[in-house]
Amino acid sequence: MTRIAIVTGAARGIGAATAQRLAADGNAVAVLDLEESACADTVAAITDAGARALAVGADVSDAASVERAVARVAEELGAPTILVNNAGIIRDNLLFKMTEEDWDAVMSVHLRGAFLMTRAVQEHQVKEGWGRIVNLSSTSALGNRGQANYAAAKAGMQGFTKTLALELGRYGVTANAIAPGFIVTDMTRATAERLGVSFDDFIAARAAEVPVQRAGYPDDIAAAASFFCSEEAGFVSGQVLYVAGGPRA
């Protein structure tokens, strides 16, 4: 059976890889990002492989924008029953340098965005009696220097996920979170730039700290999302899966 999935922040990185993996799994996918035009490459990759995809521009932190986006997906692809809340930004700084704007921007995209998207999609999931929600957390939820805002948001995603599992389970909807470790993306490239080191050196240094001795890649996260969104994962809910190449104290 073809399901309809929405992946936020899907223009690049983890979101793009996840959208393509869910399409390869047999789902039609709405590729959602702030600018619709930015989704073109991801949509092309999916459609070139023979699956259905729709580019959708939306600000996940804006309720009206979210409602319009989900309504468009329902009209053009069908009722969405899979949601991957991946959209995110970073505004890293030490606490004494962090502005209120830095704090609010990160909370708005990560937590408010996940809340608004889930509230809009769960109506379709409950009606269909089936659903999968995957929220992107991070190992930063355990604490990370210079990321008070991001760490708090990613820890919040875990509590949000567990609450969704409790509230929506009776309707056939599961909710799980993935907490990536160091993943090679544009976001981690920006971190390297902020620290003033080359991206290659940054990757090598971080990989040396990982038990499996390599950095992670978007496809590693997409594989985990694929499982959580599958029919076979119907008895797995409220879980946080650390995809980080090993345990982190």
Active site residue ranges: 150
Whole-angstrom Cα distance, residue 134 to residue 118?
A: 10
Q: In what order do the strands lie in the sheet with 4-8?
A: 53-57, 28-33, 4-8, 82-85, 131-136, 173-180, 240-243
* Chain centre distance of CA 26: 19
Alpha-carbon distance of 107 to 95, in angstroms, equals 15
CB 154 within 8 A of CB 179: yes
**Where do the H-state alpha helices sit in the chain?**
13-24, 40-48, 63-76, 100-107, 113-128, 148-168, 186-195, 199-208, 218-228
